[in-house]
Amino acid sequence: MDIVGALGRDPPDCEALPRWLAPLPEALEDVAFRFAWVIVLINLVGTAFGFWYYRFQFRELPVEMWPFIPDSPGATLLIAAALAAWALGRSNDTLAALAFFGNIKLGLWTPYVLAVFWPAFLAGAGPAMYAFLFVSHLGMVLQAFVLHRITDFPLKAVGIATAWYTVDLLMDYFVPVLGDVTHTAIPYADAEPWFTTTVLQVAAAGAVVLTVVPLFWALGTRIATLRTRVGDDNAA
């Protein structure tokens, strides 16, 4: 077995999408697929670290609320599953859409709160961990932009991803069914004033916006892909 067969597969075809929908160079996307199993492993390691990071919140909340706690590790687990399914020849649009939403949303939300609440995060985590969390989450965003190669984001898959991350948003900040809200711990009390609002509201505002952003990108990718295919058919 050659190295591509052991670590991934030949890359799937690449649609001619606008740069704002597919910002990564095609050559870099190709590397991601040729080394898909390496990326899967990296994400699984990140998932394990993330579950360890959330260990205290697991202890504090009822078991029924656990699926809503590990947001970032849940997203890395989803992209590992989506890429593994593709590498095994079983691409799954729903997995890919969930992974896209999760890695965009959490990959941007974490740097957002790290920047907004930087004094307490930096003091609590230390410079090395702070930098690791910041950079690794931005890496989640980058890897999300290879997924358009294995899905065209059909509406059913996008609907499922939208529904899940909307429910997760509600559990995280607004209407927990059991116990307290499930958002990632922030080193301030939720009700502590922050300029004209509170810490919880600042964190929630970012999460609301970043639930909409991947929906916009996914639907934009869907429309651009269909337009490209129609154009190819007309040219043929």
Helix-helix angle 127-144:36-53, to 10 degrees: 130
Would you say residue 1 has pLDDT above 60? no
Q: What pTM value is reported for the model?
A: 0.94
Domain count, the chain: 1
88-103: per-residue pLDDT in tens?
A: 999 999 999 999 999 9
Give the Å distances, CA to CA, from 187 to 73, 74, 123, 169: 20, 22, 10, 20
Would you say residue 163 has pLDDT above 70? yes
pLDDT of residue 236: 56
**Section 217-235 average pLDDT:** 85
Per the DSSP assignment, residues forming a β-bridge with 198 are 193
Between CA 189 and CA 23 the distance in angstroms is 38
Between CA 15 and CA 100 the distance in angstroms is 17
pLDDT of residue 232: 62
pLDDT of residue 235: 58
174-216: per-residue pLDDT in tens?
A: 998 888 999 999 999 999 999 999 999 999 999 999 999 999 9
Give how far the C-alpha of residue 229 lies from the chain's centroid of Cα atoms, to the nearest Å: 27
14-31: per-residue pLDDT in tens?
A: 888 999 999 999 999 999
**Section 130-146 average pLDDT:** 97
Judge whether 221 and 153 are in contact, CB under 8 Å.
yes
Judge whether 140 and 107 are in contact, CB under 8 Å.
yes
Q: Which residue has the tokens 């429910």?
A: 167
The residue count of the chain comes to 236
Domain that holds residue 94: 3-235
